[in-house]
Structure 1
Amino acid sequence: MAEQTQYVTLGVAEEIFAAPVATVQEILDMLPIARLPRAPENLLGMIDVRGKGVPVLDLRLTLGMDPADDTENTRIVVLAVNGPDGAVTVGLRTDKVFEVTVLDTETLDPAPTVSAGWSGHCIAGIGRRNGRFVTVLDLDGLLGDIVRQPILAA
């Protein structure tokens, strides 16, 4: 039997998103974030992770949602994504991290095609966990354009 893909499930607003465990390097409590001048709104700044500067993006703003204040559940998920010159380490500020889990079925439903003006390029697929929809993020699609910007391609 093939091993099922494991995901880290993330809470953003009332929605559940997931990132493949293989992309997650670590999960951190909120840290002081050094702001960057003239950065895009969703780029919160930089944090220090073991002596390395890591850019932090607000997942809410990256997904087009309203901003929210930090809570005791707010986390930074440090990920490795594919940039134009190889792997790039980036942090995602998320409202909460639920668990590492497998989804109810191994096969994901494709992103819906409902409008010519909307693209599901950042969605790897839709799964289910305990009766709720879980949107599995295509991190390269979601973050690929962002990590190509000169500020993150250092």
Structure 2
Amino acid sequence: MTQFVTLGIDRETFALPVEAVREILDMCEISKLPNAPPQLLGMIDVRGAAVPVIDLRTKFGLPRIDSTPNTRILVLEFVAQGRKTSIGLVADRVFEVTGLDGDRLDPAPETGCRWQSDHIAGIGRRGDRFVVVLDLARLLADDTPTLITTALEAA
């Protein structure tokens, strides 16, 4: 069974493959970067490494909100442009590591979807709720060159 980390943004439940998530941190101080795109909040230090942080609310076109005791930063690792890259994603909350009911995904709807369907790998179910499984590569495709440049400059 495929395992996912489920997280909340606004009233929606999203999921990322568990193998992409290196760790989950409480919200912390984020060092701002001048002239950064709106979704790039800044950088955090994770065990001596500079990690750029993206606000998922802004990425999805929602207004920013103040952090709460439930706000988390998911530190992800992936390969982009031939290099291992770490980024942080700010989520309103993180729920659990879980499988999805039936271990299958339905395709993302083409219309009537609040989120950009090209960021979605598919739609699953967990109990009576829909879970939107994010396609990490497509979600970060626009940001990856900026993130890599930012991380290299900060290192």
Question: Which is worse superposed, 41-50 or 138-147?
Answer: 138-147
Is residue 14 of structure 1 aligned with residue 11 of structure 2? Answer: yes
Moved over 6 A (4+): none
Structure 1 residue 78, shift from structure 2 partner: 0.2
TM-score by length of 1: 0.91
Is the 8 Å Cα contact of residues 8 and 97 (structure 1) preserved in structure 2? yes
1:100 aligns with: 97
* Matched-pair contact (CA < 8 Å) for 2:3–2:98: yes
Q: CA deviation at 1:153?
A: 5.9
Give aligned pairs, total. Answer: 149
Q: 2:54 aligns with which of 43, 57, 76?
A: 57
Stretches of structure 1 that go unaligned for 5 or more consecutive residues are none
Structure 1 residue 85: Cα displacement: 2.5
Contact 1:83 1:144 in 2 (8 A): no
| Structure 2: tracts of 5 or more residues without a match | none
Aligned 1:3-152 pairs, distance under 5 A: 4-114=1-111, 120-149=117-146, 151-152=149-150
Closer/same/farther in 2, CA of residues 137 and 152 from structure 1, 3 Å limit: farther
Q: Structure 1 or 2: larger helix share?
A: 2
